[in-house]
Structure 1
Amino acid sequence: MSTPPGPAPSAPSWPYCGHGAEDATDPVGCRGIHVPGQTACLAHLNSANRDAYLTGLAPGTDIDHRGTRFTAPLLNALLQALRDPTTGKPHFGTARFEGTEFAEEAGFHRARFSGPGRFGGARFSSTAWFEGARFAADIRFEEALFSGTAGFGGARFTRALSETGL
């Protein structure tokens, strides 16, 4: 006797990628938000469009990668694009990573978040490093799932840290 499948996950409220959607098994597909001006998330852009997007970023840029699946090389490319040449450290404005999957080690070492950081519902499949990170605005991790070590040693929080669900 087979078990009937559970309810299909609902589609996110943002314009999402849909890569890999299949009517029978996964009608939504990739839940990553579209990169501005594109119809795919950062993980599913072709290399020319991904390179153009990353080249257009500057330290302190607001980013939105809700629902996107990050491998270590993809996250490193984003961090490099946001690296401040005067400090050598990644600098985010507002950072939206709700529902994001970090499929490999996520290294936010010494990153600066000058705007709100949103990691609600994010899944960290390996180690997540926030050592020495600076959070100048609210940072939220509600319902984030850390499957490996989560390191916040030396991190500084100027405003509220919401860790419900850690």
Structure 2
Amino acid sequence: MLADGSRSARAAPPTAVAGIWSERETEGDAPWCDQPMTPSTPPNWPHCGHGAAPETDPIGCRGIHVPGHTACLAHLEPGVRGAYFNGLQPGDDVDHRGTTFDEELLRALLAALHDSDIDAPKLGDAEFSEATFSGTARFSGATFSGNTWFSDATFNRTAQFSEATFNGTAGFNRATFSKSAGFRGVSGKLYLTARCRLAAGSRRLPRFPRAGWCWRRP
């Protein structure tokens, strides 16, 4: 269930089977690689708009509203943000499309979803499409019990998913990795759609387990 009350209409690709669904593409035959999101186009969800300026940045922050508020998680008042975290339970659905996470904010979110039975964060359906992770994104050991989307997400530093468990679709379409990405030891019934870009200057590719990937230098 997403923040607007609807459940994502996305489904596992029709060719997916239990295990890992693999797409192999190359830069030459992957036209979608040249279709990045356009920051000048408003997102298709109610967005924060923080910092918007009519002449220079009419869109502002693209982060989706936290339910019941008119700001994204990054731009909520600290007390309101704390109340949101306190209301989360392990296994809850989260929707933070377009939100910018520094390491502290991501750590606080995952701490609120910490499941003492597995001693790790546990998420239900998780929407991080178009999110930006400005610091190291540490999802190692987390359990994603629903569908997980990092489509068009930007990882400005290392992305760590080692030993994570994915029980639904894990989509990283058009995600941009500026450093390295580790998926060593992931488990679960994983449908991994991986069509990714490697940021200019990066020398290490995302390491998806037995999955196909595509990369391009912008």
Q: TM-score range, shorter-chain basis?
A: over 0.9
Q: Secondary structure of the residue that 2:115 maps to in structure 1?
A: coil
Aligned to 1:43: 74
Over the aligned positions, Cα root-mean-square deviation in angstroms equals 1.1
Aligned to 1:29: 60
Alignment gaps of 5+ in structure 1? 1-6
Distance 2:39 2:119 in 1: 44
State whether structure 2 residue 148 is matched by structure 1 residue 117: yes
Aligned to 1:65: 96
Partner amino acid, structure 1, of 2:93: D
Cα distance, 1:8 vs. partner?
6.6
Indicate how the Cα distance of structure 1 residues 66 and 46 shifts in structure 2: closer, same or farther if over 3 A, else same.
same
Q: Is the 8 A contact 1:60 1:92 kept in 2?
A: yes
**Identical counterparts, % of pairs:** 48
Partner amino acid, structure 2, of 1:89: A
Aligned to 2:16: none
Match of 1:74 among 95, 105, 121: 105
Match of 2:190 among 148, 159, 163: 159
Match of 1:141 among 153, 165, 172: 172
> How many residue pairs align between the two structures?
160
Cα distance, 1:88 vs. partner?
1.2
Q: Secondary structure of the residue that 1:90 maps to in structure 2?
A: strand
Distance 1:89 1:8 in 2: 34
Question: Which TM-score applies when normalising by structure 1?
Answer: 0.94
Query: Whose RCO is larger (CA < 8 A, sep 6+)?
Result: 2
Partner amino acid, structure 2, of 1:99: E
Cα distance, 1:80 vs. partner?
0.1
Would you identify which runs of 4 or more consecutive aligned residues in structure 1 move more than 3 Å?
none
State whether structure 2 residue 40 is matched by structure 1 residue 16: no
Q: Is the 8 A contact 1:8 1:26 kept in 2?
A: no
Question: Which TM-score applies when normalising by structure 2?
Answer: 0.72
